C-alpha cells in the first residue's frame, strides 16, 4: 500500500535534486509532497526554487557549527520540519553531518544523495575524487543517513563511465543526470513500503 511521503528537503546550494523530486511528483511517478525546504545558507538557490513552487522556504542558521547540525540548531530544524508535518527528510546538497537527535526524530526516514559510488569517495566533490583517482566508472548513491559521513545503508546506485577527456564539470553533469533519476526512485520505493533495512543492507521488496 502506498503512503505518500511528506518530505522536508534540506540543502545548501542550488537544489537541483529537489527540483527532480518536484518534477517526479508533478509527473505522477512519486507519491509525495514537499512540505518545506530549509537551507543553512541564506542565499541558497534551493530556497528560490521552493518559493517559485509555492513551497514554504526557510533559512535556518546552523551556527556555531561549520560542518555538522547539532545542539540547539538541530532541535530548531527538527521543530520546523515537524511543524510542517514532515515524515521524511531528503538531504539535497546539505553540506553538514546530521546527528543522532534528527535521526531519532525520523527513524529510517532520512535519505541523502551522494555523487559517487559509495563507499568510494565519500565527502565533498566525489566526482573530482573519482577523476583524480583514475576511476573508469563513477556515479551516484542514494542511502539512508546515519551519524557518519556518507556511511549509511545504500538504497540504490547508478553508474556512468568516466570518458577520455572528462573534466570535473562534464563528469559531474553526467552524474547529476543519474542523480535526478535515482533520488525520486528511492523515495517512491520508500512510499511504497518496499525498503527494509537489515544491518548494513537495504532489501527492496518486489511489488
Strands 5-11 and 88-91: parallel
Q: From CA 129, how far away is CA 122, in angstroms rounded?
A: 9
Respond yes or no: is residue 104 known to be catalytic.
no
CA 151 to chain CA centroid, Å, is: 13
Cis status of the peptide bond prior to 64, with omega within 30 of 0: yes
Instruction: Given the residues 114, 143, 172, 180, select the one marked as catalytic.
Output: 114
Cβ–Cβ < 8 Å for 182, 140: yes
Return the C-alpha cell found at 34.
514537499
Q: What is residue 68's DSSP assignment?
A: E
Active site residues: 114
Amino acid at each position: 500500500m502506498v503512503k505518500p511521503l511528506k518530505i522536508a528537503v534540506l540543502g545548501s546550494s542550488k537544489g537541483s535534486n529537489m527540483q527532480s523530486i518536484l518534477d517526479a511528483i508533478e509527473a505522477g511517478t512519486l507519491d509525495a509532497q514537499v512540505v518545506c525546504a530549509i537551507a543553512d545558507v541564506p542565499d541558497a538557490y534551493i530556497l528560490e526554487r521552493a518559493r517559485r513552487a509555492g513551497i514554504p522556504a526557510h533559512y535556518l542558521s546552523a551556527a556555531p557549527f561549520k560542518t555538522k547540525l547539532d545542539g540547539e540548531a538541530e532541535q530548531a530544524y527538527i521543530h520546523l520540519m515537524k511543524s510542517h508535518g514532515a515524515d521524511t527528510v531528503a538531504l539535497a546538497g546539505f553540506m553538514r553531518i546530521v546527528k543522532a537527535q534528527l535521526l531519532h526524530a525520523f527513524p529510517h526516514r532520512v535519505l541523502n544523495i551522494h555523487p559517487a559510488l559509495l563507499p568510494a569517495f565519500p565527502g565533498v566533490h566525489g566526482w573530482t575524487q573519482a577523476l583524480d583517482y583514475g576511476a573508469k566508472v563513477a556515479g551516484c548513491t542514494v542511502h539512508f543517513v546515519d551519524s557518519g559521513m556518507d556511511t549509511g545503508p545504500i538504497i540504490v546506485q547508478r553508474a556512468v563511465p568516466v570518458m577520455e577527456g572528462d573534466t570535473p564539470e562534464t563528469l559531474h553533469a553526467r552524474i547529476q543526470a543519474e542523480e535526478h533519476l535515482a533520488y525520486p526512485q528511492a523515495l517512491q520505493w520508500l512510499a511504497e513500503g518496499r525498503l527494509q533495512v537489515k544491518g548494513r543492507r537495504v532489501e527492496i521488496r518486489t511489488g
